[in-house]
């Protein structure tokens, strides 16, 4: 499912919301999540899971083609930990 399909599902579920309003709602939701992650906050959604930012330190690696030692720069990434209810529902299917 992509963002447009998600927006259409919300529009179908709530008769009083227009297509534009449901699309804006989806965009705003993602923007709120991104803003919180940029501040270093966890985003916890009860019954769904938690989004967290993880930082990895700079490290040494080896280029497999040349066997040359390289430096892999530090980075941040977003991790998702599913909640127990979500895990349980996934195991039922």
So what's the pLDDT on residue 4?
A: 93
Q: Mean pLDDT for the chain?
A: 95
Superfamily (CATH H level) for 44-93: IHF-like DNA-binding proteins (4.10.520.10)
- What SS3 class is residue 1? coil
Average pLDDT on 15-31 reads 93
Return d(Cα 47, Cα 85) in angstroms, integer. 6
So what's the pLDDT on residue 37?
A: 97
So what's the pLDDT on residue 7?
A: 93
Angle at 4 between CA 79 and CA 35, to 5 degrees: 40
Kindly report the pTM of this predicted structure: 0.79
pLDDT digits (tens, 9 = 90+) for 48-87: 999 999 999 999 999 999 999 999 999 999 999 999 999 9
- Bridge partners (DSSP) of residue 62 are 69
- Bridge partners (DSSP) of residue 37 are none
């Amino acid at each position: 499912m992509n963002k447009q399909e998600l927006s259409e599902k919300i529009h179908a579920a709530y008769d009083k919301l227009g297509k534009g309003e449901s699309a804006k709602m989806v965009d705003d939701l993602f923007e709120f999540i991104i803003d919180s992650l940029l501040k270093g906050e966890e985003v916890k959604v009860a019954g769904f899971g938690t989004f967290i930012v993880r930082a990895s330190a700079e490290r040494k690696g080896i280029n497999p083609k040349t066997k040359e030692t390289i430096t892999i720069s530090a980075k941040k990434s977003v991790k998702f930990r599913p909640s127990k209810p979500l895990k349980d529902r996934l195991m039922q299917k």
